[in-house]
Structure 1
Amino acid sequence: MFNNLLAKRNRLIYFIQYSKLSSTMDKSSMIQKVKSYIPPLDGSSHKGQAGRIGIIGGSLEYTGAPYFAGISALKVGADLVHVFCTSSAATVIKSYSPELIVHPLLDHPNAVNDISPWLDRLHAIVIGPGLGRQNKTFEVVSELIKTIKSKNIPLVVDADGLFLITQNLDLIRNFNSPVILTPNKIEFERLCEKVNGYSELNKLGENIVVFKKGQTDEIFCASNVAQWKSNEGGSGRRCGGQGDILSGSIATFLHWMTSNEDKFNMSPADKSIASSISCFAASILVRKCNEKAFRIYGRSMVAGDMIEFIHEAFQELYGE
């Protein structure tokens, strides 16, 4: 009882402090907040506690994207990553890394029933990396989103997951758990067209945060105090896979930002702030990885080169 009251008091203090920040984000305060939620490496936790992340994506044509999202979640600090992909993608994804738990279930006849029991084990889910746009896959994923909603699991939607969501915004209506959409420029324009302008994005839902990626990263949501812009770091190199690294990183930070909270009783403002800080933490981390890799590889840099720098960039920003 006392611990719950103390946690709520701390959240209230932080909300008040955060509300006083200007629209230009106070980077130092945000980084300190991220640090306070990172699980300590003191031997007190058990396997899985630092994050069991789900990636729903991976198809015949696209096997790299779920790998990048999954391995990034692990490199940031999650303990386990489950990838739910089509049968044709599974062996390829497994060959990239033995660290990923790969489930070739997405195109099974009873895919929703086969995947749903696994969702109970997960702390956060990313939908979209390498998903493809097959109607059959979209039907399965639409049903899975409803299941994720009922289980109150924090959700990150990227890539072809955004294409699905933009076609049917009702899929993310009335979520009680945090939902983060991560569109690039084209995806953002498509989403804005659907809702009749970017000024309407804050009406998508009180627990929904839109993280627009680009030369300047930017947050759009219903809570004014959770919005920010940042163009720090990075480079001019825009190789494929960077968005997947970002989405996997966001999922791990999002779990950390909500793991000590009562997810059902968090206020919409709390959820928006948790989502916003998770996006910020991942944004500056991935931009720093990009910057470091570009210094060495220049125009030849690919997303895999950035993975090598996650530990170094994390240490510089957040310590151990």
Structure 2
Amino acid sequence: MKPVDMAAADINAEYLGVPRLSLMENAGRAVAEEIGNAVDGGRVAIFCGSGGNGGDGFVAARHLLNMGFDVEVQLLSHPERIGSEEALVNWKVLGAMQPHPGGFRVEVVRDSSEINPPDADVVVDAILGTGVRGSLREPSRSAIEIINRSDAFRVSVDIPSGLNPETGAVDDIAVSADLTVTFHRMKDGLKVADPAVTGEIVVRDIGIPPAAEIFMGPGDLMRIPSRSPGSHKGENGRVLIIGGSRQYSGAPAIAAKAALRAGADIVMVAAPESAARAIRSLSPDIIVRELDGSYIGMESLDEILELAEKSDSVLMGCGAGRETSTARTFLRVIGDLHEMEKPLILDADALRLMDYSDVSEYRELTVTPHMAEFRSFFKLKSMIFDDFRERVSAFQSVSSRIMGTVLLKGRIDMIFQGDRSRLNKTGCPGMTVGGTGDALAGLTAGLRSLGLSSFDSASLAAFINGMAGELAMERYGNGFTASDMLDMIPPVMDMGFYGF
């Protein structure tokens, strides 16, 4: 399990109604129980950082005291710098327990010189968790050195401090634990780390429900990469949308605006001249490239490929029509993009102009069908199921015919890639209005251009699009339009919207 997966599951659990304070309580109790299983009483020294890992240590201290241990807690930070609400709650609990008549002491360490070398039978490392990156700072670094010099039984909370939670590497120094108590699932770094660093690894359940990883939630927004402060125009995603026709100009325009709202720097639409003029008039933020003719055809192939080569992701199909010349052009474009390993999203008419056999080996592909398009694309007759689990299993089996990602739109969106799957429940009945699928495709292309995988970009796009629809319905009622939804995308991409 990657650190971002754990962080997302943690937030999604609270979104489902399981408070993170409860998860921290369960984690701290689990650490105390494992210590109780390993040693028979004695003195415990707990070194705590200012984040959630330290909060787990605060909880463990309370439970260890209840179990009869003498406990000393050293907070390696100013209390006002505790960055987790849940950790702060548990820090205040420890403060309320002072002064304590028994073997319980709490100290604040503001710099390395104030660290107390532990005189203990057990030393607990609750300094740095899986969300910490970068070089070690004081007093954490000195605390790790002191822990490693101790002859006590050494226990790390979730992951040994100083160990890279993704790679298992130690860049500087790390706690050499005798026991690591990790939570929910095994972390990727622990799987490959030196056993001399991790010691015995125990995985403990802390009450995160499976639904927190099955259903999309606000925690998954953490997967979206942050912009570098020194980045320049075009470095945060370039999207090319190939679509539009004499009859349809709105679809590619909506998709383009959604891609911009997703965070892409530059979005270009390559459309036949009749549609291009209309798209250009709809928004000055979209770069429009006019193609010859009323429909996309082979005469524009070289121009399309030149634009695609400079893009980070390509979306094809929105409003393109179903002309034979368009189908032939799309197949040629797909072949070349496959060779480039270019991220490609197929939507709408593109899914009617070809079938899965044309793209089965394209790993960087995402297709975004509704049920009728799904049946057409995969050459299915009818699929009727009474049981939801049976339906998900059957759709996943069908989707595995291609190596790319399938985002099957519906009342509950289903996202599949191989044996991976996610479900999304956001959305509302008002989203039956035209253009919401184009917005979803544009969101997918925009997120893909930021470097997200085909699976993550499709899953996140479904969640964001559905939440934008819900917000639009709250504001406008059932009469909202796809354009109204576009204005709702920025707030629903902000973690603060959900209270996190």
TM-score, structure 1 as length reference: 0.80
* Structure 2 stretches lacking a partner, 5+ long: 1-133, 135-163, 169-186, 192-204, 384-394
User: Residue 286 of structure 1 corresponds to which residue in structure 2?
Assistant: 465
Q: Deviations over 1:34-63 (max 9, x none)?
A: 4244232x5221111111001110011110
Distance in 1 (alpha carbons) for counterparts of 2:457 and 2:298 = 35
Give the 3 Å change call, closer, same or farther, for CA 308–31 of structure 1 in structure 2.
Answer: closer
What SS is found at the alignment partner of 2:327?
helix
User: Residue 13 of structure 1 corresponds to which residue in structure 2?
Assistant: 188
Distance in 2 (alpha carbons) for counterparts of 1:159 and 1:278 = 18
The structure whose residues are more often strand, as a share, is 2
Q: Deviations over 1:139-187 (max 9, x none)?
A: 1111111111111111111100111232xx33213224x2111111211
User: Residue 442 of structure 2 corresponds to which residue in structure 1?
Assistant: 248
Aligned-pair identity (%): 27
1:55–1:82 Cα contact (<8 Å) kept? yes
2:370–2:408 Cα contact (<8 Å) kept? yes
User: Residue 217 of structure 1 corresponds to which residue in structure 2?
Assistant: 413
User: Residue 213 of structure 2 corresponds to which residue in structure 1?
Assistant: 26
User: Residue 262 of structure 1 corresponds to which residue in structure 2?
Assistant: none
User: Residue 263 of structure 1 corresponds to which residue in structure 2?
Assistant: none
Structure 2 counterpart of 1:304, one-letter code = S
Distance in 2 (alpha carbons) for counterparts of 1:23 and 1:190 = 33
Q: Deviations over 1:120-139 (max 9, x none)?
A: 11001111111110111111
Q: How many Å apart are 1:279 and its aligned residue? A: 1.7
Distance in 1 (alpha carbons) for counterparts of 2:220 and 2:335 = 32
* Paired residues for 1:37-48 under 5 Å: 37-40=224-227, 42-48=228-234
Matched, 1:76 2:262: yes
What SS is found at the alignment partner of 1:174?
coil
Structure 1 counterpart of 2:359, one-letter code = I
Structure 1 counterpart of 2:348, one-letter code = A
User: Residue 474 of structure 2 corresponds to which residue in structure 1?
Assistant: 295
Greater Cα shift, 63-72 or 231-240: 231-240
Q: How many Å apart are 1:8 and its aligned residue? A: 7.5
Greater Cα shift, 287-296 or 226-235: 226-235
Distance in 2 (alpha carbons) for counterparts of 1:7 and 1:146 = 38
Q: How many Å apart are 1:91 and its aligned residue? A: 0.4
Greater Cα shift, 310-319 or 279-288: 310-319
Distance in 2 (alpha carbons) for counterparts of 1:122 and 1:116 = 10
Q: How many Å apart are 1:33 and its aligned residue? A: 5.1
User: Residue 137 of structure 2 corresponds to which residue in structure 1?
Assistant: none
1:201–1:210 Cα contact (<8 Å) kept? no
**RMSD between aligned alpha carbons?**
3.0
- For residue 327 of structure 2, the aligned residue among 114, 138, 150 is 138
Q: How many Å apart are 1:318 and its aligned residue? A: 8.1
- For residue 366 of structure 2, the aligned residue among 180, 199, 210 is 180
Give the 3 Å change call, closer, same or farther, for CA 247–82 of structure 1 in structure 2.
Answer: same
* Structure 1 stretches lacking a partner, 5+ long: 259-273
Q: How many Å apart are 1:22 and its aligned residue? A: 7.8
Give the 3 Å change call, closer, same or farther, for CA 103–173 of structure 1 in structure 2.
Answer: same
Matched, 1:118 2:307: yes
User: Residue 375 of structure 2 corresponds to which residue in structure 1?
Assistant: 189
Give the 3 Å change call, closer, same or farther, for CA 27–79 of structure 1 in structure 2.
Answer: farther
What SS is found at the alignment partner of 1:180?
strand
2:252–2:318 Cα contact (<8 Å) kept? yes
Matched, 1:158 2:316: no
1:31–1:318 Cα contact (<8 Å) kept? no
Give the 3 Å change call, closer, same or farther, for CA 284–200 of structure 1 in structure 2.
Answer: closer
Computing the radius of gyration from Cα coordinates, the structure with the larger value is: 2
What SS is found at the alignment partner of 2:460?
helix
Matched, 1:227 2:421: yes
Give the 3 Å change call, closer, same or farther, for CA 76–318 of structure 1 in structure 2.
Answer: farther
Give the 3 Å change call, closer, same or farther, for CA 32–45 of structure 1 in structure 2.
Answer: farther
TM-score, structure 2 as length reference: 0.53
Distance in 2 (alpha carbons) for counterparts of 1:112 and 1:193 = 28
User: Residue 398 of structure 2 corresponds to which residue in structure 1?
Assistant: 201
* Paired residues for 1:86-101 under 5 Å: 86-101=272-287
What SS is found at the alignment partner of 2:314?
strand
Greater Cα shift, 20-29 or 72-81: 20-29
Give the 3 Å change call, closer, same or farther, for CA 58–156 of structure 1 in structure 2.
Answer: same
User: Residue 490 of structure 2 corresponds to which residue in structure 1?
Assistant: 311
2:344–2:365 Cα contact (<8 Å) kept? yes
Structure 2 counterpart of 1:211, one-letter code = L
Q: Deviations over 1:95-115 (max 9, x none)?
A: 001111111226466311122
